[in-house]
Amino acid sequence: MRIAIVNDLRIATEGLRRVVCSQPENSIAWTAACGEEAVRKCREDVPDVVLMDLLMPGINGAEATRQIMERSPCAILIVTSTVAGNFSLVCEALSHGAYDAVATPVIGDKPPAEAGELLLAKLGQVNKIRSRIGSEMRTAELAKPRTNGTAQGGPRTLPLLAVGASTGGPNALRAILSQLPRDLAAATIIAQHISADFAASLTAWLANQCKLEVRTARDGDRPQPGLVLVAGTNDHLIMSPDGTLNYTSEPIGNPFRPSVDVLFQSLARCWRPSVAVLLTGIGRDGAQGMLELKLAGWHTIAQDEKTSVVYGMPQAAFQLGAACEVLPLDEIAAAIQRKIPRI
């Protein structure tokens, strides 16, 4: 991987360089001594991963993270002298899209690979995920028809709101959708764990609760502004490379149907960075998919424990570092609207 180092201390930069380069698959893309320089260099040359310090002259690492994720998104790992001592800034950076945080390794007399074992482990996890996303995105790009860039022309055009939910999900969905305006400049796609027998009833109930148009997703549907599409069969709903929604039985072994992970992972491959929300539900479905979305530049929101009926899925996302924000249910709609404008 090509890794950038952002740190105002020369000794820390050199230590990080030694740790990173102890693995032959890694190289240094560039270094920066302040947040402003990091933002500029990311615009000019986006690395695979940025190792971001927090306390620097000028803008801090949290603000630099925000600007990078807005202008040239990439995986950002916070590397700071003390995670606990800088906890508020760490949380701020994570809310802006940083993947995770780790203490700056102290090499001393140890070999760099040993001293930086935890940092290298986190880099390894990032690499596994981005390698998978990268290969699938390249496959999708080869298969993707070229479009004229209209709002319904496929990936990287229309803002998207992707929502996953399970136990307690219907009321959580109602609470959010009822607060969204009719002229929201985004399409919405929902994967709620529910039997196909009840999906139509859920869709009709939601349609009566909100200003947006709500209907069951059909094979070949394209996302449209102001339209909410709800997965409505026992198969998984996915975004295809041509920008259409389709149902698939694979993976057959996944007990959660429709799977939030399967939907989110397809969006990470096939759609521009937008907004994803993971709501109340049992299990871990959606957590890994949300992590892949976050690493692809999406703004990710998980429901908090207090307002969740079952704090399983959003908790799993939080534990993976997949959530940019963890919010109570009554604040999620406002957070969505801060990221997605009206038409």
Instruction: Judge if 90 and 236 occupy the same domain.
Output: no
Residue 242 annotated in active site: no
Q: Are 313 and 279 in contact (CB under 8 A)?
A: yes
pLDDT along the chain (343 residues), means of 10: 96 96 96 97 95 94 90 88 76 72 88 93 77 46 37 60 92 94 94 82 88 96 95 94 94 88 95 95 92 94 93 94 96 95 59
Cα 161 off chain centre by: 12
* Active-site residue, from 48, 235, 261, 285: 285
Instruction: Judge if 195 and 236 occupy the same domain.
Output: yes
Domain tally for the chain? 2
Q: Are 302 and 278 in contact (CB under 8 A)?
A: yes
Instruction: Judge if 181 and 32 occupy the same domain.
Output: no
305 part of a folded domain: yes
What pLDDT does residue 198 have? Answer: 74
* Active-site residue, from 95, 166, 240, 274: 166
How far is Cα 52 from Cα 76, in angstroms, rounded to an integer?
Answer: 7
146 part of a folded domain: no
Q: Is the pTM of this model over 0.75?
A: no
Q: Are 267 and 188 in contact (CB under 8 A)?
A: no
Residues 6+ apart with CB under 8 A from 146: none
Instruction: Judge if 48 and 128 occupy the same domain.
Output: yes
Instruction: Judge if 320 and 172 occupy the same domain.
Output: yes
What are the b/e assignments for 273-282, b being 16+ CB within 10 Å?
Answer: bbbbbbbbbe
What pLDDT does residue 147 have? Answer: 35
Give the residues across from 216 on adjacent strands: 230
How far is Cα 187 from Cα 224, in angstroms, rounded to an integer?
Answer: 5
Element (H, E) at 226: none
Instruction: Judge if 171 and 316 occupy the same domain.
Output: yes
* Active-site residue, from 193, 235, 259, 304: 193
Instruction: Judge if 118 and 165 occupy the same domain.
Output: no
Instruction: Judge if 215 and 103 occupy the same domain.
Output: no
What pLDDT does residue 89 have? Answer: 83
What CATH number did the domain enclosing 8 receive?
3.40.50.2300
What pLDDT does residue 119 have? Answer: 93
Which domain range does residue 123 map to? 2-132
152 part of a folded domain: no
What pLDDT does residue 97 have? Answer: 67
Instruction: Judge if 116 and 186 occupy the same domain.
Output: no
Q: Alpha helix locations (H) across the chain?
A: 10-20, 35-44, 61-71, 87-95, 112-115, 117-143, 169-177, 196-207, 260-270, 287-295, 313-320, 329-339
Residue 96 annotated in active site: no
Instruction: Judge if 205 and 302 occupy the same domain.
Output: yes
Instruction: Judge if 185 and 260 occupy the same domain.
Output: yes
